[in-house]
Amino acid sequence: MTRKRRRLNFIILGLLTLGVAAALVLTALEDKIVFFYSPTDIVTKKQIPTNQQVRVGGLVKEGTWKKPTNDLTHRFTVTDLRHDIPISYKGIIPDIFREGQGVVVLGKLQADGNFQADEVLAKHDEKYMPPEVAEALKKSGKWKQTEDAK
Amino acid sequence: MIAEIGQFALILALVIAIIQGTLPLAGAALNRAQWVAVAKPAARGQFLFVIIAFLCLMHAYVTSDFSVANVAHNSHTLKPLLYKISGVWGNHEGSMVLWVTILALFGLAVAEFGTGLPPTLRARVLSIQGLIGVAFLAFILFTSNPFLRLDPAPLEGNGLNPILQDPGLAFHPPFLYLGYVGFSMAFSFAVAALIEGRVDPAWARWVRPWTLAAWCALTIGIALGSWWAYYELGWGGWWFWDPVENASFIPWLIGTALLHSAVVVEKRDALKSWTILLAILAFSMSLLGTFLVRSGVLTSVHAFASDPERGVFILGLLVFVIGGSLTLYAIRAPQLKGGGLFAPISREGALVLNNLLLTTGAAVVLLGTLYPLILDAFGGGKVSVGPPFFNATFVPLMVPVMLAAIVGAMLSWKRADIGAVFSRLKIAFYITLIAISVTAWFAGSLRDVLAAGGIGIAAWMIVGSALEIAERIALFKGPISNSWRRAIGLPRSAWGMAIAHGAVGIMVAGITASSAWRVEKIQLMAPGDVITVSGYSLKFEGAKPIKGPNYHGERGLFTVTKNGKAVTTLTPEKREYPAERSQTTEAGILTMVSGDLYAVLGDKSKNPAKGGASWSTRIYFNPLVAWIWVGAILMACGGLVSLTDRRHRIGAPKTARKPAKKAADPQPGPVSA
């Protein structure tokens, strides 16, 4: 086995690995990534798929959080202060979830315009605003107002 | 006053680091022995001043000195002492001080114990360490000063996020940093070797223990973080493929590859330039991880309120370190001709396969982590890349690594007979088949068939590692005393390898079972209600108010029975921390070998039907979940056992003396065997 031959073997093996990895990554990027939408996106664009998981983020609108009474379904409204999306979530809400704070939910848009959440992601740090939420608020032109409100 | 001493000590440390980073490097290039000799006292001085700064910050925390802004923002008088201490690194500024403290400690270790190293190599290593120190000290002093004063000082601090007030998390950052900064040693050795233009087996013998130690610490750090997430976040999950988790996992993968390739350099004098590249990458990925965590460019459950200025500083540092070291690599690496030739079917060949797959795996994780950033930059929309992506890409790459690990460990160096190895592994092969069939028999769906494969891999790794050791000590092939003698005589590195590989198997069993067969039940429960999960009956006895040192809340009580026999009681809590104005969930967990029973107390709601209140509760059964962390700790133990191998012991590098003379040779040149 000469040095050249050995190097060729390595290159072939390396390319093979990279090829397999690239194939895996490309198929996964096709259907395994999750898009983010602001409430305005959902209300104004009508082509949001209803059969696919998406994420929606914004502020939890003050006075809209209805805690469950007989079942475990929490209902609240997520807003970017321009448009609202009603959310329902069955399960235990994270400790840091509050009205008036930023939140990102993961789930599916229903045909009736309701959003059924599978996960509610509130953040570790109360000072922290998810970047997508900040962006959504900036886009709706309401970013400053919330800052002042604080 | 104490805070000012700390600040002054940091400035002095920076000045010394600048000297340490320049003089010895110049001295080694210009052959000035006096300049080279500066390295050792400088490393000592840097450690002295950094540890003074660290202790000053700790003093401010322990005495709750709220005139220091950092303490006022992150501590509180009511906090237990352990969390006052861990609060030092529970925030951005303090964690950076911990980082440089560990960096200086490693520098001191090289200065004190590196007496067997060629003097110019040691000076260059210390110089590179000094330069890294300069970067981080400047970062602290210019963007994240922990000693800034507040005037007037508040009477009370803001407190530490209660979710971080936990013993598991108190030790998570120090271990992670030991790992990250430990890789800086491998990096410094790699850059120093590139400057010298030589890499030989002695070099690998020097680098490997540092890498091994860093790798063990990183393994423990990641395991602690995952364990903490499991019991503290109340979701019952232990790994979320979150960007910050990935940021620690990528260096771990590269570090694992580096450990394996350094063996080839040491034993066979081959794969030199590849090993150098891995050493550079391991530390670069640690820095990238720091950048991702500290700059807040990615959405993550760990996200800290962050400051763009810091992000820009770290990004600049990243470009300088990665760009600089890779340029040096491009210039010098072609000189590093490898020695030993080997056939594709050989121990070296198996290690090459291991390296290719581990680094590809790391690249895939990196791509998945950065993909949202890349897509957003090109206007492709906001996306998140979560577990489904990583499960579909990373897991298939790791399967061949694990299958090959056992075969590779039995192959001989240079050229091996794979048929003979397969016949030696016959028993492991049969047991694996039995494990797969039994698991598949008890299950049915496709998901379970994949899980059966996972259990098979676990069995393969555990039995294969045990067989390897059994064979080497000739177990059952002669008197037991003979085997005992061989077991003691077996190199510690062989033991370490078998333990670590077996531990991977234990971990895979835990990961597979807890992902595939987890049972989750969410319901409303009034006192007296009973729920059955995986054969365990949990009776909810109600919830009572509790009061802790800095919190109050509710504690639920579940009595657990199995087949009518009492097993235990579970007491999940919901806590309210008034100082921090936040709540946490403390899960009630019963850990058993077969799995964890995990109870979470949710919100209280009025329930007129049951004549009072009821609570939402969430009960999980997570099969074999504890095996994950037992596996991780055992893996680190394997690393530690390997670290005690005779050839790594301090004072042992007699063999390193010979190359030391060669290295003193003023004309650096490629060494080829």
- Band the pLDDT of B132: cuts 50, 70, 90: very high
Chain B residues within 8 A of A36 when measuring between CB atoms: 381-384
Q: B657 pLDDT exceeds 70?
A: no
Domain layout of chain B by residue ranges: 1-160, 170-339+348-408, 519-625
Beta strands in B295-344 (DSSP E): none
Chain B residues within 8 A of A28 when measuring between CB atoms: 388-389, 392-393
- Helices B654-664 and B119-143 cross at an angle (nearest 10°) of 90
Phi-psi region of A125 (alpha: psi -120 to 50; beta: other; left: phi over 0): beta
Which amino acid, one-letter code, is at A29? L
Instruction: Look at residue A61 in the predicted model and tell me its pLDDT.
Output: 87
Which amino acid, one-letter code, is at B580? E
Q: Quick check: B530 and B628 in contact, CB under 8 A?
A: no
Name the minimum distance, in Å, from the CA of B23 to any CA of chain A.
40
Instruction: Look at residue B651 in the predicted model and tell me its pLDDT.
Output: 43
Q: Do B583 and A93 touch (CB under 8 A)?
A: no
Give chain B's length. 673
By Cβ distance, the residue of A36, A93, A96 closest to B383 is A36
Q: B239 pLDDT exceeds 70?
A: yes
B193-B195-B199 Cα angle (round to 5): 25
Instruction: Look at residue B665 in the predicted model and tell me its pLDDT.
Output: 38
Cα–Cα distances (Å) from B440 to A47, B28, B446, B447, B504, in that order, read 42, 63, 9, 10, 22
Q: B532 pLDDT exceeds 50?
A: yes
Instruction: Look at residue B634 in the predicted model and tell me its pLDDT.
Output: 97
Output the DSSP codes for A34-73. EEEE-HHHHHH-----SSS-EEEEEEEPTT--B--SSSSE
Searching chain B, which residue's CA lies closest to the CA of residue A67?
A: B605
Q: Do A70 and B607 touch (CB under 8 A)?
A: yes
Which residues have C-beta within 8 Å of that of residue A131, sequence separation ≥ 6? Answer: B296, B297, B299
Q: B443 pLDDT exceeds 50?
A: yes
Longest dimension (CA), chain A: 76
Q: Do B302 and A28 touch (CB under 8 A)?
A: no
Q: Look at A67-71, A116-120, B438-442 and tell me which has the smallest mean pLDDT.
A: A67-71
Most confident range (mean pLDDT) of B147-151, B580-584, B611-615 is B147-151
- Cα–Cα dist A106/B120, whole Å: 57
Instruction: Look at residue B672 in the predicted model and tell me its pLDDT.
Output: 35
Q: What is the mean pLDDT of residues B34-58?
A: 95
B91-B93-B96 Cα angle (round to 5): 100
Instruction: Look at residue A148 in the predicted model and tell me its pLDDT.
Output: 38
Interface list for B 517-546 with A (CB within 8 A): 522-524
Chain B residues within 8 A of A17 when measuring between CB atoms: 356-357, 360, 397
Six-digit token string for B157: 């601090």
Most confident range (mean pLDDT) of A66-75, B428-437, B655-664 is B428-437
Instruction: Look at residue B445 in the predicted model and tell me its pLDDT.
Output: 64
Neighbours of B57 (CB within 10 A): 28
Q: Do B371 and A29 touch (CB under 8 A)?
A: yes
Of the residues B264, B376, B389, the best mutation for testing chain A's interface (the one with the most A CB atoms within 10 Å of its CB) is B389
Q: Do A69 and B299 touch (CB under 8 A)?
A: no
- Band the pLDDT of A123: cuts 50, 70, 90: low
- Cα–Cα dist B513/B457, whole Å: 12
Omega before residue B152 within 30° of 0, cis: yes
Residues A77-100: tens digit of each pLDDT = 988 888 889 999 988 787 778 788
Interface list for B 583-642 with A (CB within 8 A): 583-585, 600, 602-603, 605-607, 609, 616, 618
Q: Quick check: B231 and B589 in contact, CB under 8 A?
A: yes
Q: Which of B124, B236, B110 is nearest to B182 (CA)?
A: B110
Name the minimum distance, in Å, from the CA of B600 to any CA of chain A.
9
Instruction: Look at residue B315 in the predicted model and tell me its pLDDT.
Output: 82
By Cβ distance, the residue of B299, B388, B524 closest to A72 is B524
Helices (H), B201-307: 201-232, 243-268, 272-295
Q: Which of B94, B1, B90, B11 is nearest to B50 (CA)?
A: B11
Instruction: Look at residue B63 in the predicted model and tell me its pLDDT.
Output: 92
Six-digit token string for B34: 């006096």
Q: Quick check: B600 and B231 in contact, CB under 8 A?
A: no
- Cα–Cα dist B222/B110, whole Å: 26
- Cα–Cα dist B272/B264, whole Å: 8
How many separate helices (H) and strands (E) can be counted in chain B? 22, 11
Instruction: Look at residue B653 in the predicted model and tell me its pLDDT.
Output: 44
Which residues have C-beta within 8 Å of that of residue B46, sequence separation ≥ 6? Answer: B13, B16, B17, B20, B104, B107, B130, B133
- Band the pLDDT of B607: cuts 50, 70, 90: low
Q: Quick check: B27 and B35 in contact, CB under 8 A?
A: yes
Residue of higher predicted confidence among B280 and B442 = B280
Element (H, E) at A105: strand A102-109
Instruction: Look at residue B608 in the predicted model and tell me its pLDDT.
Output: 63
Name the minimum distance, in Å, from the CA of A112 to any CA of chain B.
24
How does strand B612-623 pair with strand B595-607?
antiparallel
Chain B residues within 8 A of A13 when measuring between CB atoms: 352-353, 356
Name the minimum distance, in Å, from the CA of A3 to any CA of chain B.
7
Cα–Cα distances (Å) from B471 to B44, B425, B499, in that order, read 47, 10, 15
Instruction: Look at residue B147 in the predicted model and tell me its pLDDT.
Output: 94
B115 secondary structure, DSSP code: G
Q: Do A17 and B356 touch (CB under 8 A)?
A: yes
Q: A144 pLDDT exceeds 70?
A: no
Of the residues A17, A80, A104, the best mutation for testing chain B's interface (the one with the most B CB atoms within 10 Å of its CB) is A17
Which residues have C-beta within 8 Å of that of residue A31, sequence separation ≥ 6? Answer: none
By Cβ distance, the residue of B382, B522, B585 closest to A35 is B382
Place of tokens 């803001």: B158
Searching chain A, which residue's CA lies closest to the CA of residue B601?
A: A92
- Quick one: what percent of chain B has pLDDT higher than 70? 92
B68 secondary structure, DSSP code: B
Q: What is the mean pLDDT of residues B326-336?
A: 88
- Cα–Cα dist B286/B177, whole Å: 9
Q: B655 pLDDT exceeds 50?
A: no
3-class SS shares of chain B: helix, strand, coil, % to 5? 65, 10, 20
Handedness of CA B477, B478, B483, B484 (dihedral sign): positive
- Band the pLDDT of B562: cuts 50, 70, 90: very high
- Band the pLDDT of A130: cuts 50, 70, 90: low
Q: Is B163 on the interface with A (CB under 8 A)?
A: yes
Cα within 13 Å of Cα(A97), Cβ side: 26
How does strand B552-562 pair with strand B536-547?
antiparallel
Neighbours of B211 (CB within 10 A): 26
Searching chain A, which residue's CA lies closest to the CA of residue B600?
A: A92
Number of CB pairs, chain A paired with chain B, less than 8 A apart: 133
Q: Look at A32-36, B172-176, B229-233, B442-446 and tell me which has the smallest mean pLDDT.
A: B442-446
Q: B272 pLDDT exceeds 90?
A: no
Interface list for B 174-233 with A (CB within 8 A): none
Instruction: Look at residue B41 in the predicted model and tell me its pLDDT.
Output: 94
B618 phi/psi in degrees, rounded to 5: -135, 125
Task: Give the pTM.
Answer: 0.89
Residues B456-465: tens digit of each pLDDT = 999 999 999 9
Name the minimum distance, in Å, from the CA of A146 to any CA of chain B.
17
B238 phi/psi in degrees, rounded to 5: -130, -5
Longest dimension (CA), chain B: 90
Place of tokens 């001085």: B45
CA B596 to chain CA mean position, Å: 24
Name the minimum distance, in Å, from the CA of B651 to any CA of chain A.
36
- Cα–Cα dist A119/A105, whole Å: 6
Residues B299-329: tens digit of each pLDDT = 544 444 456 677 778 788 889 999 999 999 9
Q: B98 pLDDT exceeds 90?
A: yes
Instruction: Look at residue B654 in the predicted model and tell me its pLDDT.
Output: 43
B178 secondary structure, DSSP code: H
Name the minimum distance, in Å, from the CA of A69 to any CA of chain B.
6
Cα–Cα distances (Å) from B24 to A119, A149, B137, B459, in that order, read 56, 56, 19, 52
B411 secondary structure, DSSP code: S
Cα–Cα distances (Å) from B469 to A96, B194, B487, B492, in that order, read 50, 38, 8, 11
What are the beta bridge partners of residue A74? A89
Summary mean pLDDT of chain B:
86
Q: Do B524 and A1 touch (CB under 8 A)?
A: no
Residue of higher predicted confidence among B64 and A147 = B64
Name the minimum distance, in Å, from the CA of A110 to any CA of chain B.
20
- Cα–Cα dist B152/B69, whole Å: 10
Residues B628-639: tens digit of each pLDDT = 999 999 999 999
- Band the pLDDT of B178: cuts 50, 70, 90: very high
Q: B574 pLDDT exceeds 80?
A: yes
By Cβ distance, the residue of A9, A32, A104 closest to B389 is A32
B603 phi/psi in degrees, rounded to 5: -75, 150
Instruction: Look at residue B447 in the predicted model and tell me its pLDDT.
Output: 64
